[in-house]
Amino acid sequence: MGEVDPACIQDTQHRPKLAVIEAEGIPLIDLSSANAFNHVSQIADACKNWGFFQVINHGVPSESRRKIEDAARKFFALPLEEKRKVSRDEVNPLGYFDTEHTKNVRDWKEVFDLVVSSPAFIPASPDPDEKELNELINQWPQYPPELREVCEEYAREMEKLAFKLLGLISLSLGFPENRFNLLFEESTNFIRFNHYPPCPIPHLALGAGRHKDGVALTILAQDDVGGLQVKLKTNGEWVRVKPTPDTYIINVGDIVQVWSNDTFESVEHRVMVNSEGERFSIPFFFSPGHHVWVKPLEELTKGEKPKYRAYN
């Protein structure tokens, strides 16, 4: 990323401690059918107490993941002028970007965003009554040539896993497994490539500043370098989520928190960088259709005041 941009420097209270605390006890859930009896209780416990968990035996072919990780590395290795040929702009938020800010501080990363179903449509403004829709169209670079096919294959696998997890979350809230499925019929799901280059000031900057995800679920593939930190609900400490081979990290987003009326909670997380090596990750963001009004579910709020107003 070249010279250090002062916009990357975090306020003192948000600067990372280089002495890393490893997270102990983040749930690791085996999604194989042999363990099916335990899935619902394990998911409920993880969503309630952590907001994060990891899954193994998830059904996503390792070859599909390897191919998309290889393609991401090839793309980010391109010269900057090549990557900028598919830059996002004021009209289309999809494509390449290297000046993203989280809470008004620049992140030490570059990204490439795409939607799973292209074209996709989102409201033209945040106005709840907005009727006009903007069309989102993926921008595909010339290189690597296999990128589009690889992404489309991986997206199908991610959607299958996302619906499986959604069903388990529904069961863990006491609903039928398919309670939420209709809400995702016209979903706008995103895949992002993250590249965090080596950073000369890892004690002052973050790859991604503290934030929560506004979606229903995030499914994250991270490499073996690590850097993801979660803020513990118990004591507010930032702890590192150690990479585990062939797992996905799942986090509950704001939408599930609202549906559950705070039974499950979306938690803050951030990404540390380091001065020695680069890091890659690929999150999949799973959301209901933009027309869906999100609010606490009536079945969960009987005799209890909803904690959120409806929004879309």
Share the mean pLDDT of the chain: 91
Spatial contact of 111 and 193, defined as CB atoms under 8 Å apart: yes
Give the H/E segment covering residue 88. Answer: none
Least confident span in 19-33, 163-177, 204-218, 287-301? 19-33
Type of residue numbered 212: K
Q: How does residue 2 score in pLDDT terms, banded at 50, 70 and 90? A: low
Question: How much of the chain, in percent, has pLDDT values that exceed 70?
Answer: 99
278: helix, coil or strand? Answer: coil
Q: State residue 304's pLDDT score.
A: 82
Q: How does residue 301 score in pLDDT terms, banded at 50, 70 and 90? A: confident
Q: State residue 1's pLDDT score.
A: 60
269-245-70 Cα angle (round to 5): 90
Pairing of strands 52-56, 28-30: parallel
Q: CA-CA distance, 14 to 136, in Å (whole number)?
A: 34
Q: State residue 18's pLDDT score.
A: 76
Q: Name the DSSP class of 22.
A: B
Give the predicted TM-score (pTM) of the model.
0.94
Q: How does residue 96 score in pLDDT terms, banded at 50, 70 and 90? A: very high
| Backbone phi, psi, residue 232, to 5° | -65, 140
Which is nearest to 182 in space by CA: 308, 64, 292, 17?
A: 292
Structural domains of the chain, with CATH: 19-300 (2.60.120.330)
* Chain segment 243-291, per-residue pLDDT in tens: 899 999 999 999 999 999 999 999 999 999 999 999 999 999 999 988 8
Label residue 62 exposed, middle or buried (CB < 10 Å: 0-12, 13-18, 19+). exposed
Averaged pLDDT, 154-168: 96
Instruction: Return the structure tokens found at 312.
Output: 């879309």
281: helix, coil or strand? Answer: strand
199: helix, coil or strand? Answer: coil
Averaged pLDDT, 141-165: 96
